[in-house]
C-alpha cells in the first residue's frame, strides 16, 4: 500500500472512531449529503466499509439493502455423503452466520442424501464468509460450496472449465473396509482436495472398489499420479487421471444412473440429479429445484444445472435427459 493511500485510510479511521463534536451533532442529513456530493465512489466506499466493521448500526444498514438479493445468500453444496443430514449441514455452516435454512435433498424411497444440499443465510455476509472456504470437509468427504445461482461459473466459481480434467484422479483396487477418511488422509498429502472421495455405496457406506478425487490445482493431481501404484494400510491401489480411468474402464461402474439419468461421475446414480417427481413441491414443482436456485428443466422433467458437466461432474459426460439414450 502506497503512503498516500495509507494516510487516507488512517484519516478515515480516525474520523470514524472519534466521538461526535457539538458541530457534528448539529448537522442534518441534508447537510451531510451536500458534503458527500463531491466525493468519489472510492472515497465513499472507504468510509462506509470502515464504518460497517466498527459500528453495528452501519452494518445493519448495509445488510438491510444487501440482504434483499436472495441469490447472494443462498449456497449450493455438492459432493455430500449419503448419510449426511440437514442437521449435520446446519452445524457445519452455522459458525459463519445465522441460517434461514439448511437442507439436504434426500431420496424419497431410502431417505438417504442425494449428494447435495442448500444453505440460506440470514445475512449476505454469512454467505460471503462461507464462500471464502469453498472446499469443506463434511462427514469425511471434501465437498464444494458455491452460490446456488452461480450458473456457468463452474466449480467453486473459478470460471475455468478447461483445467478440470487435469485436476481429477481415479483410484482402483480399494478394499471394501477402507474408509473415506483413510483415502482422504493419504491423498491430501499431495495437495488440497476440492472434492471427494466418491464411489461409496449409498446404503452400506462401503467402498465399491474405486473412487474419484478432484484437486484444487493441476500440480497436486500430477503429484498424486506421478507414482500410480500406492500402498495404503497394506493394500495396493492404482491411481491415474480420471480420463484414463474411463478409457480403461478398470472397475468403473455403469454410467447410467437412477431413472436413466447419466451419472457424470462414473458410478450409478448416487450423486445424480433426481427426477422431479421425487422432490416435494417446496423444493421445486414443475420447474425443478426452483426454490433452491431456480434451475431450468431439460429433457422432459430433469432439473439440470446450466454449467458445464456440473454440479456432479467428476470424470464423465454431463447429465443426459431421461429417455435420450
- Give backbone dihedrals phi and psi of 312, rounded to 5 degrees, phi first: -115, 35
pTM: 0.57
Q: Rounded to whole angstroms, how far apart are CA atoms 12 and 131? A: 29
CATH 3.30.360.10 fits 70-149, yes or no: no
Could you state, in order of their start, the residue ranges of all structural domains in the chain? 3-66, 70-149, 159-252, 255-325
Q: Which fold has domain 159-252?
A: Alpha-Beta Plaits (3.30.70)
Q: Rounded to whole angstroms, how far apart are CA atoms 162 and 157? A: 13
| Same fold for the pair 70-149 and 159-252 | yes
Per-residue pLDDT of the chain (325 residues; tens, 9 = 90+): 556 555 555 555 555 455 555 555 678 889 889 999 999 999 999 999 999 999 999 999 999 999 999 999 999 998 898 889 999 999 999 999 999 999 999 888 888 888 899 999 999 999 999 999 888 999 888 899 999 987 544 444 444 444 678 888 999 999 988 888 888 888 988 888 888 888 887 777 788 889 888 888 889 899 999 999 999 888 999 999 887 655 444 443 333 333 332 333 333 334 433 333 333 434 433 334 444 544 443 333 333 333 334 443 334 443 333 344 3
Ranges of beta strands (E only) in 175-321 are: 193-200, 207-215, 229-232, 235-241, 297-298, 302-303
Rounded to 5°, angle at Cα 323 from 199 and 200: 10
Question: Helix H segments across 114-199?
Answer: 124-131, 180-187
Q: Are 303 and 289 in contact (CB under 8 A)?
A: yes
Q: Rounded to whole angstroms, how far apart are CA atoms 300 and 252? A: 28
Amino acid at each position: 500500500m502506497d503512503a498516500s493511500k495509507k494516510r487516507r485510510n488512517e484519516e478515515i479511521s480516525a474520523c470514524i472512531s472519534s466521538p461526535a463534536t457539538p458541530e457534528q451533532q448539529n448537522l442534518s442529513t441534508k447537510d451531510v449529503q451536500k458534503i458527500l456530493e463531491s466525493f468519489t465512489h472510492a472515497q465513499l466506499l472507504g468510509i462506509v466499509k470502515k464504518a460497517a466493521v466498527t459500528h453495528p448500526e452501519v452494518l445493519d444498514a448495509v445488510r438491510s439493502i444487501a440482504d434483499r438479493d436472495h441469490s447472494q445468500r443462498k449456497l449450493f453444496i455438492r459432493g455430500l455423503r449419503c448419510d449426511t443430514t440437514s442437521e449435520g449441514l446446519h452445524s457445519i455452516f452455522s459458525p459463519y452466520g445465522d441460517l434461514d435454512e439448511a437442507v439436504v435433498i434426500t431420496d424419497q424411497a431410502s431417505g438417504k442424501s442425494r449428494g447435495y444440499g442448500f444453505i440460506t443465510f440470514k445475512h449476505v455476509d454469512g454467505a460471503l464468509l462461507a464462500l471464502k472456504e469453498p472446499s469443506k470437509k463434511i462427514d469425511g468427504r471434501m465437498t464444494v460450496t458455491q452460490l446456488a445461482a452461480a450458473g456457468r461459473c463452474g466449480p467453486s466459481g473459478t470460471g475455468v472449465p478447461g483445467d478440470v480434467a487435469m485436476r481429477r484422479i481415479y483410484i482402483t483396487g480399494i478394499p471394501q473396509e477402507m474408509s473415506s477418511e483413510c483415502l482422504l488422509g493419504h491423498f491430501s498429502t499431495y495437495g488440497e482436495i476440492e472434492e471427494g472421495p466418491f464411489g461409496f455405496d449409498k446404503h452400506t457406506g462401503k467402498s465399491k472398489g474405486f473412487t474419484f478425487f478432484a484437486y484444487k490445482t493441476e500440480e497436486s493431481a500430477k503429484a498424486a499420479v506421478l507414482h500410480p501404484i500406492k500402498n495404503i494400510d497394506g493394500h495396493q491401489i492404482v491411481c491415474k487421471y480420471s480420463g484414463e480411468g474411463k478409457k480403461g474402464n478398470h472397475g468403473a461402474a455403469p454410467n447410467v444412473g437412477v431413472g436413466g439419468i447419466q451419472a457424470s461421475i462414473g458410478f450409478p446414480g448416487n450423486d445424480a440429479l433426481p427426477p422431479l417427481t421425487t422432490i416435494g413441491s417446496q423444493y421445486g414443482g414443475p420447474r425443478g429445484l426452483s426454490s433452491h436456485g431456480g434451475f431450468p428443466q431439460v429433457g422432459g422433467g430433469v432439473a439440470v444445472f446450466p454449467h458445464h458437466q456440473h454440479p456432479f461432474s467428476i470424470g464423465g459426460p454431463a447429465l443426459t435427459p431421461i429417455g435420450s439414450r
